[in-house]
Chain A
């Protein structure tokens, strides 16, 4: 019940932020130099045709009225038609969102699978050979260009060894999974390095605290100390970092999807930007912001479960 109230309160707090985000999305198309109506029709359109479009889409009306009309559409999942494809933008997004979400969640899963054991082991064996090796690797992984790593993996596994597809999305479950391996791994490199560093430092901090000694002197088993006392506490700060990284990776999908030719929202965004398809850009900005807000909400709830001291 307490959790439910908290979620409700947080959702109320999201309303003003959503309002401003909608304003930003609304103005994107109007900030671009040039007349949106002419943008829709192309450079060669006659003045009459442009005037007709202006009337049809209400572009001649005052801005507040235009905004209300835009918002009424958004609430009905109607973001207008894509200027390039002439199909509803919402349909484009619905067909591509699963790819981007799958990529983001898979990258997150890989990052956690690597960073939890490595970070924990480094933290408990501070200063050892493995710890130093992991520190150097983390520094390196954070500083390397993602798009280059992606290309290197593509050359090695796709072109030299020919064991993974070089791009696109395969058929069936295994085909899908195979085409996600390289992109997700590339995407997870930087995140797993940052998370490993965070978990390692947290573990180093926690181990030296009194409550761990106390738990040990009470005769609690090492396994339980590891899971309940050390790891759980180390995850508290990690959860916040993870949510920031998930938001970052969502944006990073633009680069990853264009390297591996994955038909997701990221690829849609970059194609829309090149085609000056601003209705799509507008909608994508909106959707990305909402997904980030949902991720942040889930994080806050998770945080409150992990750390019972948090009061709402």
Chain B
């Protein structure tokens, strides 16, 4: 029974890795996957349905949707990864220092998080972008400004528990510096929870970034990005379904890939931790 379960887990982990691996490959070497340029206009071929020539069909400008999806992978993946990595470090460090030293810094941090959390996530992101203006850089900034809080809360909670544990007390008594205790003794024990969260956060950031482009706030045309492609296809949905359906499908599969990968990773870290 136990063996069966672990093999079942292994399969989902492998499927997740293969999906994510393929998307990364698309992002790094788009030319392997398609011969078309994502912004080349071909009016004669406009709105043609999926065929062997155009796997995912074409849009109103006759641009090849499949190549737009392939080239778009780079931006969407970057939004997911950069939208996660920066808050991971900022929030993680802030949460660790706040919990370790407590005092005024901790109080300000918690107060700030409480207030920011009073706003719905999407509203916060949209309002920040509306103040900064449209564009991909501003999407990143909005994701960073909003994303760090979860990591700060998560790491702060873990450090608060560990701070009073025997081994940390022992390290203090032994006269280790704060820097050494934080980096060598606390960090390795609090990082895995943040890593597990980060993998699911990649999906969230990717989806949020794409939603912003879908609303017309993020990536601007003619740049290929999954949300932006679907936004452009929205007006043709009743007779050219492929412009919205197929890029979304790739996006959904990518999201599921990260989810499966994260699930496997959680399992691995939990077993290792035991």
Contacts and interface: CB of A to CB of B under 8 A. Distances in A.
Are both chains from one complex?
yes
Interface string A127-158: 10000100010011011111110011011000
Interface in B208-255: 210-211, 214-217, 227, 230, 234, 237-238, 241, 244-245, 248-249, 251-252, 255
B39 to A, nearest CB: 23
Contact of A146 (B119, B130, B207, B245): B207
B255 to A, nearest CB: 3
Nearest to A247: B120
B94 interface: no
A148 B121 contact: no
Contacts of B245: 151-152, 155
A292 B115 CA distance: 11
B138 interface: no
B127 interface: yes
Interface residues of A, number: 45
Contacts, number: 124
Given A148-B230, A252-B122, A273 B115 contact: no
Nearest to B239: A159
Given A148-B252, A151-B230, A289 B118 contact: yes
A122 to B, nearest CB: 15
Interface residues of B, number: 45
Contact of B211 (A127, A255, A281): A255
Given A127-B5, A145-B207, A285-B127, A251 B122 contact: yes
A296 B234 CA distance: 36
B123 interface: yes
A282 to B, nearest CB: 9
Contacts of B255: 143-145
Interface centre among B12, B115, B258 (most CB of A within 10 A): B115
Interface of A: 17, 20-21, 24, 28, 31-33, 127, 132, 136, 139-140, 142-148, 151-152, 154-155, 159, 247-248, 250-252, 254-255, 258, 269-270, 273-274, 281, 284-285, 288-289, 292-293, 296
